[in-house]
Amino acid sequence: MNKTVKIAIIIVIAIAIILGIYVVNSLTNKKPKTNLDPIENAEDLVGLVDKIYEEIPEDQLPMLQSQILDVTNNDSVKYITGLENGTNFEYVVVSEPLMSSQAYSLVLAKVKSGINADEIAKEMSENIDTRKWICVEAEKLYATSSGDIVFLVMSNEDTAKPIYERFKTLAGNINQVYEKTAAEIDLPPEMY
């Protein structure tokens, strides 16, 4: 073999090794796919809330306000997400009625890099107080995630289901869905 052929073989082998390393890294560092626009700040989460509501009839929702949650305020984080603190979150936005006796809460959160959004969705679904309004309880809860975005909605079934379905449509791909249905309260016969 002449020197030119040997150099060509070495170059081909080097390129094959580099491509192999690239493919392995791509497969092992693959982020979950999502159709959601990149969330780069809390205002982007507010925009996602607005997109979710675009397809929901106005008469199906109470008058709502979206607020950016201070993730360093543990009391607010606990009330809104059910978690003890916000150390796993970059941003959290909550959409709830301004004044209403209707149980309704939509929470969107972006988790920090390296945090499993699916695990956070599960923890939120297990720990959130569905009676946080004291006089009413959310009948249905849906929690899931897509990419690094966690989604939770709780309300009556007729409201929560379309909100969940809209998020699922926007996201394209979602992880495990965690559902919770309120247990019916047995009232004394004289209260029927």
Tens of pLDDT, residue by residue over 8-51, are 777 878 787 877 676 665 554 444 567 888 899 999 999 999 99
Measure the CA–CA gap between 41 and 6, rounded to whole angstroms. Answer: 53
pTM metric for this prediction: 0.79
pLDDT digits (tens, 9 = 90+) for 144-190: 999 999 999 999 999 999 999 999 999 999 999 999 998 765 555 66
* Residue of 69, 117, 75 whose CA lies nearest to 91: 69
